[in-house]
Structure 1
Amino acid sequence: MDSNNLSDEKSESRLYIGNLDLRISEAALIKMFSPYGKIISEDFLWHTRGPKRGEPRGYAFVQFSTKEEAQQAKEKMHGKLVCGRPLIVRLASEKYLMEGGESSSKAVGGGETTKPYLSGGSLTRMSRGAKIAAIKNKLKSMEEESHLSKRQKPADSSSRSSNS
């Protein structure tokens, strides 16, 4: 049970930082978050193959020594403009849980909320249940988009036929 408590503590002190401008370096990221506590690890993700190989992926993870430090950094840095872009800062454990509730309300607007969460290597860090939830949310948003496009097509074709 102690190992479970350690992993819970670790996930509560690990932050996901998203919407990073590509000009932000690892050093700049550490400098931005170090005033909030002791950073014990940092994972800055890079493209490993393809045409963008070697370029930043636009998100990172920062591990603080305590969950209180992580919570303070989250509160202070979420939404802060850096290089003209608002940072998305969440507890790494919240990243997938919160996404599910948000995607259903935002899916009508374009469904972009689920795409960053399902990209490449991030799936391997998710628990099995989180993977299933993310896939279900993606399918739901795709179905909603499909229904919207089906409704629009008949309206478009009927307006064209009445004009001709």
Structure 2
Amino acid sequence: MDHNGLVDEKSESRLYIGNLDLRITEAALIKMFSPFGKIVSEDFLWHTHGPKRGEPRGFAFIQYSTKEEAKLAEEKMHGRLANGRPMIVRLASEKLMAESADNPSKAGRDTNKMHLTSNGSGQMNRSAKIAAIKNKLRDLEEENSTAKKQKQKQTDNVS
């Protein structure tokens, strides 16, 4: 439960799966994780632009119907080899908190660090989630702006 007395079931039943071999397909991932419970959704991440466009990014998210199913899958699958690589399996909320602790500039700028509050289950509060989303959007906008400038520079050089 968070400070408002609300349970965020989604974050407690959503798993981050990382260090995936790029040959692993969505179907294979679902097949590996389905024995542990009902999979409600699966987000297999792909590169959307650049030279790797259309290739897997090496991580995914799986949402189970209950937090117990997610915990069981985490226990059974973390460190398990898939195509010769040990998978990293964590609750998605724990993964974000671990990144914030290891690398504050990745989860939020030094001028706008996220303030994480723990409720005992590794869950972030609402304002921390909003701050993380805003920081991600700002980073994407900066990336897009830099790419446009480089493209314009190339166009100017060709002319």
Task: Normalising by structure 2, report the TM-score.
Answer: 0.62
Corresponding residue number in structure 1 for 2:20: 20
Q: Is the 8 A contact 1:15 1:61 kept in 2?
A: yes
Amino acid at match of 1:128: I
Question: Taking every aligned residue pair, what percent have the same amino acid on both sides?
Answer: 68
Q: Give the C-alpha shift of residue 128 in structure 1.
A: 3.4
Corresponding residue number in structure 1 for 2:97: 97
When the two chains are superposed, the root-mean-square deviation of aligned CA atoms in Å is: 2.9
Task: Normalising by structure 1, report the TM-score.
Answer: 0.61
Q: Residues 90-129 of structure 1 correspond to what in structure 2 (within 5 A)?
A: 90-101=90-101, 103=102, 127-129=129-131
Corresponding residue number in structure 1 for 2:78: 78
Whole-Å separation in 1 of the counterparts to 2:133 and 2:90: 18
Q: Residues 2-151 of structure 1 correspond to what in structure 2 (within 5 A)?
A: 4-5=6-7, 8-101=8-101, 103=102, 127-130=129-132
Q: Which runs of 5+ in 1 are unaligned?
A: 105-113, 119-125, 135-164
Corresponding residue number in structure 1 for 2:150: none
Q: Is the 8 A contact 1:100 1:133 kept in 2?
A: no
**Higher Cα Rg: structure 1 or 2?**
1
Corresponding residue number in structure 2 for 1:123: none
Q: Give the C-alpha shift of residue 130 in structure 1.
A: 4.3
Aligned residues: 113
Whole-Å separation in 1 of the counterparts to 2:80 and 2:44: 19
Whole-Å separation in 2 of the counterparts to 1:31 and 1:65: 16
**Per-residue Cα deviation, 1:41-77 (whole angstroms, up to 9, x for no partner):** 0000111111111100100000000000000000110
Whole-Å separation in 2 of the counterparts to 1:66 and 1:47: 29
Q: Which runs of 5+ in 2 are unaligned?
A: 109-127, 137-159
Q: Give the C-alpha shift of residue 133 in structure 1.
A: 9.9
Q: Give the C-alpha shift of residue 131 in structure 1.
A: 6.3
Whole-Å separation in 2 of the counterparts to 1:129 and 1:69: 29
- Secondary structure of the residue aligned to 2:61 is strand
Q: Is the 8 A contact 1:96 1:130 kept in 2?
A: no
- Secondary structure of the residue aligned to 1:93 is helix
Q: Give the C-alpha shift of residue 99 in structure 1.
A: 2.6
Question: Which aligned runs of 4 or more in structure 1 are off by greater than 4 angstroms?
Answer: 129-134
